[in-house]
Amino acid sequence: MSGSKELSVRTGLVHVVFAFDVGLSVDLARCRQHVTDMTETAKIKHKGHAPSYFQFDPPPLRIIQEISALEIAGRRTSSTVEVTVYDFGGVSVRYTIPFEGPFEDMIALSCVLSETEQFRDDSRTRVAHLLTVIESAVDRPNIDDITEDFLIFQVQEFTDGIALEELWTTRSGETARLLRSERDRLSEQEVSEAMSARVSFGCDDVALVDWNAALLVDREPEDVRSVLEFANLQLLEMRFLDLALDRALDRSYEVLQAESGWSAFLRKRRMRVDLARVARFQVDGAILFERVGNALKLLGDQYLARVYRAASQRFRLSEWNAGILRKLETIESIYQKVHDRSSSLRMEVLEWIVIGLIALELVFGLVKR
């Protein structure tokens, strides 16, 4: 049920975020040398008193690019776009749209943003251009087809003032429509689900996190926004790694089902190549998994840890992690089986060589007599 007064935003921003994978890893120091735009090392800001070790490790590289403003639904983006490069090969692109006006207009904008390809296409073009500049700093450079997008609605102040809890109580239907990019009213069950991930630090701020978007009512939301952007990029990397492991498993099964016996002996060199390829799948997957999982240190700042936990639950990152670990274990098992088969084949060949040598020795002995 909506409140009696029309909800309106006095000062706000809408952030459109896209995540890409551009390679296995990025040398950030070399990347900085190649980039001519204004750059800085991205760090987490903290609310209250928090230890400095709640940070990215290593800190990603933030690049600010001047752009011609993009127009959408009668609004224009700011004249800059922020590109953040992480050492594990992930890139996050963020556009910002200044917003003021009725909350219903923000909901309408959310719907338009969820349907348009304008920002996806523009961000891919920017990432492709960036990759040509920093290619020498990227291990196995390639822009993967899959992307992840996320909307962050930042409200610094509402007009006429409202009680903050109205957003998830009397006005929860409107808030849920914003987060779900829906023009029509939602069911009570859907609204309840959309409102279930709520995090606050003080009495005058809140972060409502959903799988498609987040609403931040906060005057200093940079730390929360950074964590949400990272979680979105982490989801992309989990999806990318999951697909890569699926392909690796298919290839590994082919290696495992290849012919055995003497035919395998005749293709011994090919088996060594296959074995090395399976091992590379395993190592590449494990390295990327560890880099993505350990890029953000979650110790110390309980508030940001709760924000990250809310986002990871929305994105089901734990389920992605579990699936990836199972596939890594399966590839390890296949590698071991291929290795054992190769070892058994070598032993069998050696046995036949020994038998042959013994037979030759017996024949020579009989001939000498």
* Distance, CA of 369 to CA of 366 (rounded, Å): 5
CB atoms within 10 A of CB 101: 15
Structural domain that includes position 309? 234-368
Asked if residue 59 has a cis previous peptide bond (ω within 30° of 0), the answer is no
Residue at which a domain ends, from 200, 230, 260: 230
Cα distances (Å, whole numbers) of residue 208 to 46, 160, 319:
18, 21, 22
Strand partners, 20: 91
Let me know whether 68 and 104 are in one domain: yes
Let me know whether 223 and 258 are in one domain: no
Let me know whether 208 and 291 are in one domain: no
pLDDT recorded at residue 220: 84
pLDDT recorded at residue 54: 45
pLDDT recorded at residue 356: 79
* 2 in a structural domain: no
Are 91 and 130 within 8 A, CB to CB? yes
Let me know whether 216 and 289 are in one domain: no
pTM over 0.85: no
Let me know whether 198 and 268 are in one domain: no
Residue at which a domain ends, from 230, 258, 292: 230
Distance of CA 314 to the CA centre of its chain: 13
> Which pLDDT tens digit goes with each residue over 313-350?
999 988 988 888 888 788 777 777 666 666 666 677 67
Sequence letter at residue 307:
V
* Distance, CA of 294 to CA of 13 (rounded, Å): 30
Let me know whether 244 and 214 are in one domain: no
Structurally, the chain folds into a number of domains equal to 2
Are 164 and 227 within 8 A, CB to CB? no
* 99 in a structural domain: yes
Let me know whether 75 and 222 are in one domain: yes
Let me know whether 59 and 139 are in one domain: yes
219: helix, strand or coil: coil
User: Within 13 Å of residue 147, how many CA atoms lie on the same side as its CB?
Assistant: 20
* 332 in a structural domain: yes
Structure tokens at 346: 């070598």
pLDDT recorded at residue 299: 52
Let me know whether 244 and 213 are in one domain: no
What CA dihedral angle connects 58, 88, 295 and 46, to 10 degrees? 70
Let me know whether 193 and 47 are in one domain: yes
Let me know whether 351 and 203 are in one domain: no
Residue at which a domain ends, from 187, 207, 230: 230
* Distance, CA of 185 to CA of 234 (rounded, Å): 31
* Distance, CA of 202 to CA of 324 (rounded, Å): 37
Which regions of the chain are under pLDDT 50? 1-3, 44, 46, 48-54, 259, 262, 266
pLDDT recorded at residue 4: 56
* Distance, CA of 231 to CA of 92 (rounded, Å): 11
